[in-house]
Structure 1
């Protein structure tokens, strides 16, 4: 699960960079992902995904990682399930198409 969460974060960061945002807030309900990213700031991470996340955030002005509850992450989780069940290509939603 941790690896898929980190890949999701990396994919999201790449989408954000394509849109030229300079300030990024990474929100996740995975404490493990947050710890991996924070511990990786020392450069001692053995994870290639964490290293790529850090290389990516170096290209922005400011970034922060924040824990949110699973309940608060419901919309994002629903969007991921929608995309995976439809087997569509990657889509970027400006606003949530789902009602919570």
Structure 2
């Protein structure tokens, strides 16, 4: 069975603080876990990379064989498929490359922002919190309706 990781980053337009969030679920649309983390000040693109890295680290601990990572940040998806590395992002990209190289059946895909609302909301929730990684074994109240809608849409497009 294939498993999915949807991840996103958020940056507050006034304070410049950033956060990341993601959701892990199975091919049947069953929630496995969600996560988020307040990052401090960084760009939205870097926040998105942290979201991918956090999700990959959580997946590695679970030992899932086939994973599809989905991000609505086309710039990062393209950067992660490219071998050129630059600046601060390069260390994050290098670490993500290492994990993806080790895990043979893991892939990274671009998805439209409209299909990534749960991860986006989890990231925005973390803008109000401290910097620790928070894990959600059940969908938080703030996203339960979004989760049901996103799962319904994803199942329709896969069938």
TM range (shorter): 0.7 to 0.9
| Structure holding more helix per residue | 1
Residue in 2 aligned with 1:74? 117
CA distance in 2, matches of 1:95, 1:33: 28
Larger Rg: 2
| Structure holding more strand per residue | 2
Alpha-carbon RMSD: 1.8
C-alpha displacement of 1:84: 3.3
- Gaps spanning 5+ residues in structure 2: where? 1-43, 147-159
Q: After the TM superposition, which segments of 4 or more aligned residues of structure 1 sit over 4 Å from their partners?
A: none
Residues 49-68 of structure 1 correspond to what in structure 2 (within 5 A)? 49-68=92-111
CA distance in 2, matches of 1:50, 1:88: 21
C-alpha displacement of 1:94: 4.3
Q: Is the 8 A contact 2:72 2:113 kept in 1?
A: yes
C-alpha displacement of 1:58: 2.2
Name the stretch that deviates more: 29-38 or 78-87: 78-87
Aligned residues: 97
